[in-house]
Chains A and B, each alone.
Chain A
Amino acid sequence: MKPRILLLGSSAVAVVAMVVAGCGGNGGGGNLLKGAGDLATAVTGDERYSEIGDTLARTITDYNDLLPSEEHYIGRAVAAQVLVEPRYPMRANDALSDYVALVGQNVAQSVDFVRQTYKGYRFTVLDSDELNAFATPGGFVFITTGLLKQTQSEDELAGILAHEIAHVTLKHGLSSVNQSNFVQAGQLGLNLYKDDKFKDDPKKRAQFEEKLGEISKVFGKSCDEVAFTLLSGGYGADKERAADELAIRLVAAAGYSPTALSAVLDRLPEQKGAGGWLDTHPSGHSRASDLHGLEGGVAGSTSAAAIAQRKQRHANALKVLQ
């Protein structure tokens, strides 16, 4: 049975406000441990690190306490897992990959309520017939050529990429991790990268290596859980609905048609068992049906002439897949 997810409310904008608030919401509780700075200086031999000792007081309660850089490293590891899968060869740089990146960046960088990530969003094409698109924490977004071929316009493609941007903005990937992993990562003590300072003290170095090994295991486990959710388990219907709802608001704000996402979803085949979106997401028809009820409330500002213009360049860019 799939776990039930928090119903995120009817206004995606309110959800974004909540998430953005969460970014600044690290309570950072706990009492500073006396002498922590001295400890950091002692183990690194570098006085500048004395203040980092204060971070012994840092507590991590859940994913909202992670720094953007930590989300980024999780995202990198999950993306690396995806990119060693034989079924997901990364497409070499070409006009198509540049076009997809531009459509994605057009949404990610032009809309005010997209959450900013540590190093920004990246959009990558995978040469796979599977119908799939997914995003790792931190903003590595992937789409297969199989799903690309299902799109009949740039506005539809923008809708799919916006759905993935929405998952990142709403931190759905991070929320799929057993949150006790993050608590444990916070409890594992100082992690100083200048471990060469320990060369002359085998005992301290061994302690450091042991701690690093432990936190690396927690890190690996967290990344495995995200990858499992992205590629096999799925986020569940409620989070998919929240991402769809936010996606049509994102595309409308970027100047795309808010009805294009439901159009491509309605076109997706229904069969399960082939992997990809068809297995990890609710049926395209039901998602499209849910969106139809929302589209009227989302103001679009694009003209039919502009949609046609974009449709033409989409057709030109995708010719290479025929």
Chain B
Amino acid sequence: MSPKPTWQSLVTLGALGTLLAVAGALAQSPAPTFAPGTQARVTVSSAVLRSQPRSLSPSVKQLAGGDTVEIIEAQSPWYRARSQGTEGYVHGSALLDTKSYSVAVGSGATGLTYAERTAAARGFNPKVEEQHRKDEPNLDAGYTRVDQIEAKSTTLDAILSFRKQGGQN
């Protein structure tokens, strides 16, 4: 089991981390990187291609992690994009440019699923979580509850109905 950090070490590490975070934030590019005509990949578990550039607009297609879309036009934070002939709007925070995607999880030439890619790529992945749980068996009950939380989702219909009842049409 890894030793717990002390207050002093965390304060020191926190200050160092903050400096690095500040440096990182300053080094960021100021605008989204998806230019019209380029391709991007979905990096969240699932995303929605919508009929309008609005969060609650109807879905025209469900996108899975790893899916490729062709960017048509930017309407920040949305992108009008095409997925296998279907056009719609996808949120920019669900996408990664193809070059970065390829470096992070592979180019996509061999038919691995996105889940398999993220599991095999370097960094934090399910195997690391599995090892962490072995290292910290006291977290087991907590992980069971996290799984219960994750399994509980709220449907779009339920949200729309809730909004209507609350006068938020």
Number of interface residues of B (CB under 8 A): 99
Q: Is the interface of A mostly helix, strand, loop or mixed?
A: helix
Measured between beta carbons, the chain B residues less than 8 angstroms from A160 are: none
**B67-89 near A? 1/0 per residue, CB < 8 Å:** 00000000011100000000000
Q: Are B135 and A216 in contact (CB under 8 A)?
A: yes
Q: How far is the CA of A302 from the CA of B135 in the complex (A)?
A: 50
Q: How far is the CA of A195 from the CA of B126 in the complex (A)?
A: 13
Q: How far is the CA of A110 from the CA of B95 in the complex (A)?
A: 19
Q: Are B77 and A309 in contact (CB under 8 A)?
A: no
A189 contacts B by Cβ under 8 Å: yes
Q: Are A122 and B149 in contact (CB under 8 A)?
A: yes
Output the least CB separation between B80 and chain A (Å).
14
Measured between beta carbons, the chain A residues less than 8 angstroms from B23 are: 62
Q: Are B34 and A24 in contact (CB under 8 A)?
A: yes
Task: Identify B122's interface contact among A68, A79, A82, A189, CB under 8 A.
Answer: A189
In the A-B complex, the 5 residue pairs with the smallest Cβ-Cβ separation, listed nearest first, are A306-B167, A80-B142, A28-B103, A255-B168, A62-B24
Q: Are B45 and A26 in contact (CB under 8 A)?
A: no
A180 contacts B by Cβ under 8 Å: yes
The residue on B at minimum CB distance from A124 is: B149
A179 contacts B by Cβ under 8 Å: yes
Task: Identify B150's interface contact among A50, A93, A119, A185, CB under 8 A.
Answer: A119
Q: Are B125 and A50 in contact (CB under 8 A)?
A: no
A274 contacts B by Cβ under 8 Å: no
**A10-24 near B? 1/0 per residue, CB < 8 Å:** 000000111111111
Q: Are B17 and A67 in contact (CB under 8 A)?
A: no
Q: Are B142 and A79 in contact (CB under 8 A)?
A: yes
Q: Are B13 and A220 in contact (CB under 8 A)?
A: no
Q: How large is the interface on A (under 10, 10 to 19, 20 to 34, 35 or more residues)?
A: 35 or more
Q: Are B112 and A48 in contact (CB under 8 A)?
A: yes
Q: Which of A70-78, A261-269, A281-289, A291-299 contacts B (4 or more CB under 8 A)?
A: A70-78
Q: Are A26 and B159 in contact (CB under 8 A)?
A: no
Q: Are B77 and A20 in contact (CB under 8 A)?
A: yes
- 21 example contacts (A-B, Cβ-Cβ < 8 A) are as follows A17-B32, A18-B25, A19-B93, A20-B77, A21-B28, A24-B95, A26-B97, A48-B110, A58-B103, A67-B123, A80-B146, A82-B142, A106-B168, A110-B56, A112-B77, A116-B44, A118-B43, A122-B150, A124-B149, A180-B16, A303-B167
Q: Are B141 and A21 in contact (CB under 8 A)?
A: no
Q: A4-B18, A55-B104, A62-B24 are known contacts; what are 18 more A-B pairs with Cβ within 8 Å? A: A6-B22, A20-B32, A21-B31, A21-B32, A24-B33, A24-B100, A40-B120, A58-B123, A68-B44, A83-B141, A84-B139, A102-B154, A102-B159, A110-B55, A188-B122, A213-B135, A216-B128, A255-B167
Measured between beta carbons, the chain A residues less than 8 angstroms from B13 are: 178, 225
Q: How far is the CA of A178 from the CA of B18 in the complex (A)?
A: 7
Output the least CB separation between A145 and chain B (Å).
16
Q: Are A76 and B122 in contact (CB under 8 A)?
A: no
Q: Are B122 and A67 in contact (CB under 8 A)?
A: no
A278 contacts B by Cβ under 8 Å: no
Measured between beta carbons, the chain B residues less than 8 angstroms from A212 are: 127-128, 131
Q: Are B110 and A50 in contact (CB under 8 A)?
A: yes
Most chain-A CB neighbours within 10 Å: which of B10, B14, B17?
A: B17
Q: Are B136 and A83 in contact (CB under 8 A)?
A: no
Output the least CB separation between B11 and chain A (Å).
8
Q: Are A193 and B158 in contact (CB under 8 A)?
A: no
Q: How far is the CA of A52 from the CA of B165 in the complex (A)?
A: 49
